[in-house]
Every structure is written in C-alpha cells, then in structure tokens.
Amino acid sequence: MIGYIIGGCIVGAIGGAGAALALDLFSCVCYIVSCGNSDAGMSGPAILIFAIIGAIIGGFVGYYRYEDFRRETEEEKRRNEEEALNNILDADYNNWHNRLNNCYEHIKQKVYCKCGTDDIRNLYNAIWELEKEKENKQTLARPYNRIFLEKRTEHINYLRNIIDNNINNPGYYAIFMILRAMKCLYSINKENPRFDHAIHILEELLKNAQKKTHYIKFMQYGDCIVEADDPAYSICLEEKIQELTDKIEKIRTNIKKCQGEFYEKLDSDFPNIIDYSAELMWCIACKKPFNQTSFNNAVYVFDIYTARCAVDNYCTTWRYESEVYAANQKNVGSGEKRQCLLNENVEHLLALIYAKNKVGGTNTVDKEKTRVIEWIDNVIKFGDAEEGFLLASGLAWMGLYDLERIVLRQLFDKKVTFEMEYQDRLSFLESGGNTNIKIFDVGDKKGFLFDSSVEGWNKDAYDMFFRKLEMTHKSLEYSLMISKWTKTLPLASGQEISQSQMEKAFEDLVKDFGTEIILSRETAKAVNLANVEYKMPFIFHFASERNRCVTMLFSSDKFGRNLNISILTMFTPEKDLDNEEMKKYALAIKDNIYVESFRESICQVVDQLIKEKVTIYDEEEVSRKIFS
C-alpha cells in the first residue's frame, strides 16, 4: 500500500509540476502574442505548490489503485480456491462413483457363470462402506444419494433377471449363477430373511446337481444296481413312469408360476427334480417295448440340470450354449465357428447304452462308439475324468467288454491318471479277457458261500482278482467255483434214493481216504446270483497239503424219472494264506489229478446206489472222459 501511495505521490508531483510548466508556457505564448515580449512567467513557488497538490492527488489515486488491486487479487484467489475445491470434490465424487461401479462389476463377474461355491456375500461390505461415505457428503451439491439408490435398484433388477431367465432351463453351471444371484439379493437387501427359503432350496439343488450319479448305484467296479431292472419292479413300471412324469411336470409348472417371486414360493420339492428325471430315464430304458420319444423327454429334463455347457472354454448357461450349438450346426463349413461343448452326465450315456443293449444287443451298441469317444474327449476337457471310469464300470456291468476296453484305452491315451485297479483291468481286457471281476461283500450271510462267475477265468483274471483284494484290503470270505460238472441219470419207475442212503455211502467213501477228506453238510449259496442255492448238499473238504484249499460240493435233485446231479469243484480260502499263495493254490486246482479222481469216486458211489443197467457212464465212453 505504501508503495502505491508513494508512487502515486511521485507521479502526482511530477504531473503537478508538469502541469504548472505547461500552464506557464501557455501564458508566455499568450503574452508574447499580445505584448510582444516574454517577461511574464510563473514563479518557482507556484510550481512547487502545483507539485505538492499533484503529489497529494497522486497519493489518493495510488491508495485507491491499491485497494482495487487488493480486491481483484482477493477475488481471483477466492475463485481459484473455489475452483480447486470443486476439482477436489468432483474428483472425490468421481472416485466414489467409479468405486461403486467397480464393486458392482466385480460382483457381476463373480455371479455370472463362475463354477466355484465360495461365498460372495462379503463383497457387499465395500458397498456398505461407500454408503457410509455418501452419508457424510449429503450436504454437498453432488448426487451421492440418488446415484447410490439408482445403482442399487439397477443391480437388484440385474440379479432378478438372471434368476428369471435361467431358473426354468438353467443347465449345470447356471445353477451356480442362480444361487449366487439369490445370495446377492439376500445381501443387497441387508440379509432379509425372506430369501432364506429360496437359498436353502437352491443349495440343495446345486448339491444334487454335483453328484456323479443319481439313480444307478455303483457297488464296486463292474457292479451296479438299477432298481428298475429288477423283475419285481417291472410289475408297476407303467404306474411309476406316470407318477414320476406328474411330479416333474408339477415342479416345472410351479417354477413358471412363481417366476419373479421365488423368495417364498419356490417349491421345496424342486431339488428332487434331478432324481425324478434320472429315475424316469432308467424306468423308460428298462421298459419293453422301448419308447425313444419318452426317453428323450426324460433325458432333456435330466440334462437341463446336469449337462456341462461351455463355449470356447468358458462355462455358460444351458440356453446360451444351446443357441450357439444350434448356430454352429447351421453354419458348418461357412467360416470360423466357436468351439462349443455340451457334455451330458455319465448316467445319461449309461441309460442310453443300457436301453440299446436291451433292444438290439452289441450290434446296436457298437453304433454308439463314436459318440462314446467324443464324450470321453469332452469329459476330460471338463476335468471330470472320474465319470469316464464310471462309464467303463457300467459297461463292465452290462457285459460290454469291447466298449469298456475302448473307453479305458481312450482314457489311457489321453494321459488320464490311472489307479492300479484300472490299469489291471485294462491289461486284462487288452490280453483278451472278457469277464467282470468282482469282490462280493457277504455281510452276515450264513452257510457255504461261493462265487459261480469264476468258472472259466484265466490266469490274468486270477491275477486281477487277487490284486484287487490286495488293493482294497479285503479278505476273501467265500469260495470260488473252479468248475461245474452235471449229469442226468435215469431212474426206474418209482425208484427213490434217500438222502440218508447217500450220506451213509459217502461216509463210507471218505473212510477210504483217512484224514485227507472231511465230509460235512450245510446250505450252499451263490453270492453272485439270486436264488441259486443248494439245500444241504454234501461238501467234501480236502485236508492234505497236496490238495490244499480244495472243496467239492455234490448235490442231487430228483425230477420225474431222472436224477440230476451236480459236482462243483471249489477253491476255498484259508485265513493263514496271503493273496499270492491263495492265487497259486487256486490255479493249481485246474490241473489237480486228485480232484478228477475223487469226482470219479463220487460218481461210482451214486452208480452203486442206483443199481441200474444204465450207469452214469455211456457204454462206449471211457469213464475218465466224462470229467474232461
């Protein structure tokens, strides 16, 4: 300010002095013109007075100039500060807005077709933090509150659309998405308990969809149970098909009716739709005559909830994948196509092969080889190689050993990890084996138990069986039938042979062998077949070292004038032998000359009891050939 005043005074003094000099010059000119001389002029004191007056005026002007400058500077500073504050507030608002958008986008990415089951509800904590920031800024002239509400409403509509558009025909991966969307609705509505019912139902549905199989039960490799395959079940098969069809239709109708309001109205029976459709699929596969259209309808519902869908390695919804697949089929050969995978659950494929095998046998099933190989390729891409081994197990159960070998070979060629059991099975099949190797759990069954499926096993089959025993840490609790010999003998009219007569004759027989053979009688049952049972047969236990683990079972049954006899040669395990030793003893029985000799002795006893002209031996036949 002082500088402005001093400067003003200086400028004013100079201006005043200059004005005085100018006035003096003007006066001189006028005087010369009028008087003819220049003696007139302004004195020094007058100039000084003018300078002082000018300095005073200049000081006031300088002061006012300073005031104007000060006001302008303060105004500019205020404007700059206001602009800077606005920039900060705008940046803060934009940052808040972007963070809000990013939170919702991140949640969308987590919701849309991700295949994990981790809880995403905690992601909303960041949004609630942003809401608190908004509450602290409500007085500012920025639309925090409006934008927050708009984004929340937009997000809720987005989640509802996901559920509405996919709940009817979701597909395996979309079930994840629907459940996540429902959990998000629960969170965005501040954990409103009205969503609890729907979340529970959808969690049960997802848990059910994640099962490898639903109706068929795998007891062990090559051993399956399908209740609809039981003859006793077939009596009510038609009624069961109608019952399951009605249940499925009721659930699907309910879904359509409550669309948009799933929170409280979702049917509690909804998760069972997969089990219903799986059972329906198998019931139709087992029913004669086979109805392909009905089967396809059941499979469609089953696939909706279990088939894996992907486009270009990204999992998708059933509807989107189906549209892409249909588009690709139409545009074959017309340029680049999107890689599309649609892989049905293994139970679908097993039911289809089962039905075709029942209708046309192996010739009909062979037509599915290409489909099976493509399915294996896809199942590996989806990371579900376990289903490939389930398929092989089901094929072994059906006795489709050639196709089973193809499946295992395909899995092996694709570098899938093989457990020892599967390696042994593939090796057995590759070497020409065509038998299903099972280990049975006898539970609390009583009597002499045996497996009749062993007859005809080769060395590879025995290797695989005892290796399987070793790997599963099981003990062999039943006998293995090595061979079975049968003969029908004619009796005289009215002739009877009592069991007591036979028992006395066999007791006399074993006396000839000292302690080498022990005779006993008890009920004998086959563990691998239903209703195969011998009532109190004669069981001969070989006790010597040279015939270790050998047992022979004799059974006779009178039918009219014929006596039907059966002699079963068994390998019976002993607890003090390990699996390798038992395998050697079992293999040795086939070439045991004492077994054949004792069978001949049994036949001689029966022949003597009958005492007929026609013996068990044909007249022109050498007796030993009977047993070959």
pLDDT band for position 573 (50/70/90)? very high
Per-residue pLDDT band for 329 (boundaries 50, 70, 90) equals low
**Does pLDDT of 453 surpass 50?**
yes
Beta strands 217-220 and 340-343: pairing type?
Answer: unpaired
Alpha carbon distance 467, 424 (integer Å): 8
Under 8 Å CB-to-CB from 376, ≥6 apart: which residues? 388, 391, 407, 410, 411, 414
Q: Which two tokens stand for residue 506?
A: 């066999």
Q: Residue 518: beta bridge partners?
A: 541
Element containing residue 197 per DSSP (H, E)? helix 196-209
**Res 210 pLDDT > 80:** yes
- Average pLDDT for 503-519: 93
What CA–CA distance (Å, rounded) separates 245 from 238?
11
Better-scored residue on pLDDT, 409 or 48? 409
Residue at 221: amino acid letter? Y
- pLDDT, tens digit, 9 for 90 and up, residues 598-622: 999 999 999 888 874 444 444 444 3
Q: Are 176 and 202 in contact (CB under 8 A)?
A: no
- Other beta carbons within 10 angstroms of residue 522's beta carbon come to 14
The secondary structure of 514-545 as a DSSP string is TTSEEEEE--EEESSSTT-EESS-EEEEE-SG
- pLDDT score of 628: 32
CA angle, corner 106, sides to 100 and 112, nearest 5? 135
Q: Residue 19's pLDDT is what?
A: 66
Mean pLDDT score, 16-32: 64
How large is the angle between the packed helices 172-188 and 292-306, nearest 10 degrees? 40
CA distances from 309 to 159, 299, 343, 382 (A): 21, 15, 7, 9
pLDDT of residue 1 exceeding 90, the answer is no
What CA–CA distance (Å, rounded) separates 408 from 427?
Answer: 10
Which band of pLDDT confidence, cut at 50, 70 and 90, is reported for residue 333?
low
Please state the rounded mean pLDDT for residues 370-389. 91
What's the pTM value of the predicted model, to 2 decimals?
Answer: 0.74
Write out the DSSP string of 249-268: HHHHHHHHHTTT-HHHHS-T
- Rounded to 5 degrees, φ, ψ at 580 are -65, -40
Mean pLDDT over residues 4-10, rounded? 71
Q: Provide, for the chain, the percentages of residues in helix, strand and coil under a 3-state DSSP scheme, each rounded to the nearest 5.
A: 60, 10, 25
Give the pLDDT band of residue 162 (cuts 50, 70, 90): confident
Q: How confident is the model at residue 26 (pLDDT cuts 50, 70, 90)?
A: low
Supply the Cα-derived Rg of the chain in whole angstroms: 50
Q: Note the pLDDT of residue 614.
A: 41
HEC letters along 430-473: HCCCCCCCCCCCCCCCCCEEEEHHHCCCCHHHHHHHHHHHHHHC
Mean residue pLDDT of the chain comes to 83
Q: Taking Cα atoms as reference points, which of 594, 526, 593, 528 lies closest to residue 566?
A: 526
Residue 422: how many other CB atoms lie within 10 Å? 19
* pLDDT over threshold 70, residue 33: no
Burial class (CB in 10 A: 0-12, 13-18, 19+), 456: exposed
* pLDDT bracket for residue 138 (50, 70, 90): low
Segment 167-185 mean pLDDT? 82
447: left (phi over 0), alpha (psi -120 to 50) or beta: left
Domain borders along the chain are 2-98, 112-134+143-209, 217-307+344-430, 448-627
Cβ neighbours around 123 below 10 Å, total: 16
Band (554; pLDDT cuts 50, 70, 90):
very high
